[in-house]
Structure 1
Amino acid sequence: MRMYGVVGWKNAGKTGLMERLVTEITGRGVTVSTIKHAHHSFDVDHAGKDSHRHRVAGATEVLLASRNRFALMHELRAEDEPPLEVLLTKLSPVDLVLIEGYKRDGHRKIEAHRAVTGNPLIAPGDPTIRAVASDSELALDRPVFDLDDTCTIADFILREVGL
């Protein structure tokens, strides 16, 4: 499975870049799925809804389906967070999986960086970060793209994964 990551510190522009890349790449006829890592607990249903009641009652998995979409919720009651490799097996086949987060995993990545955050770059100490998308000029040993130049960033990623 071809995959490529977008990493960076909080407020670096990761989600906006992901959104633009999905639009750009799917617009070229490439099928894309995404994985987003969350550092906090999250919920896709709400208290009082039937699916929520099923989970609270103790169901390990609840699949919520309609004519427009389905969502499979798997409760990790006493389990550790599954590794990225396991999560990738849950996806249907596509041309490319874009991964937001998972900065410590070994797949190729591009780092999103905004100078205003004051955060240091991750790239200098991480060879899996193949390029940086930034809102400021940077002198690095790898390509640096304008954070808003989605087309060029998409070109780079697609070349990297052989698409």
Structure 2
Amino acid sequence: MRVIGLAGWSGAGKTTLLARLIPALVARGLRVATVKHAHHAFDLDQPGKDSHLHRVAGASEVIVSSETRWAQIHENRGEAEASLAALLGRLSPCDLVLVEGYKRERHPKLEVFRAANGRAPLHPDDPEIVAIASDTPFPQARIPVVPLDDVAAVTQVVLAGAAPLAEVLERLRHGPAH
């Protein structure tokens, strides 16, 4: 397994890019997994469904399974948020893990930059950023810069920048990048 993240400010287009990048990677025969960081509470199950009733009743974990998919819901119930390393360790074997968010963690990242956001780029201060997908050029960058809308070019830099899982786990043990 190899790992690379997509990092950038909210509104930069990370999710949109992932939705275009994943099919391009799958078309190459890769098995792709994703880890998405949310900055807010979220629900996967819905009120009235059995899984929701189990969780609300106090179950710390609920697994829902059918012939087409299964999902595991873990309630922290006062425990600390799971680390990126812990979440990566829970994934089934695959070829490539794409991590959305976790921009302060020490894993290789593609910065997704959109000038209209009006935010400063991340790459000058983050040595873990290995490439930039942007709607504006960065001639001073010392890493590859590809057009945000060029999925083929983004695919190339993602594959080149992804690191083996063992290497990523070792980097994560050393704490945040900055």
TM-score, structure 2 length as denominator? Answer: 0.88
Q: Match for 1:98: what amino acid?
A: L
Aligned to 1:141: 142
**RMSD, aligned CA:** 1.3
SS in 2 for 1:89: helix
2:23 pairs with 1:23? yes
Q: How many pairs are equivalent? A: 163
1:33 deviates by: 0.4
SS in 1 for 2:146: strand
Aligned to 2:157: 156
The answer as to whether partners of 2:108 and 2:162 remain within 8 angstroms in 1 is: no
SS in 2 for 1:15: helix
Q: Name stretches of at least 5 consecutive residues in structure 2 with no aligned partner.
A: 165-178
The answer as to whether partners of 2:8 and 2:122 remain within 8 angstroms in 1 is: yes
Stretches of 4+ aligned residues off by more than 4 angstroms = none
Aligned to 1:32: 32
Aligned to 1:99: 99
2:115 pairs with 1:129? no
| CA deviation map 1:97-140 (0-9, x unaligned) | 00001111111000101111101101100010111111112222
Distance 1:127 1:159 in 2: 16
Alpha-carbon spacing, 1:126–1:162, altered in 2? closer, same or farther (3 Å): closer
| CA deviation map 1:68-94 (0-9, x unaligned) | 111100000010101001001111000
| CA deviation map 1:26-70 (0-9, x unaligned) | 110011100000000000011111110000000010001111111
SS in 1 for 2:52: helix
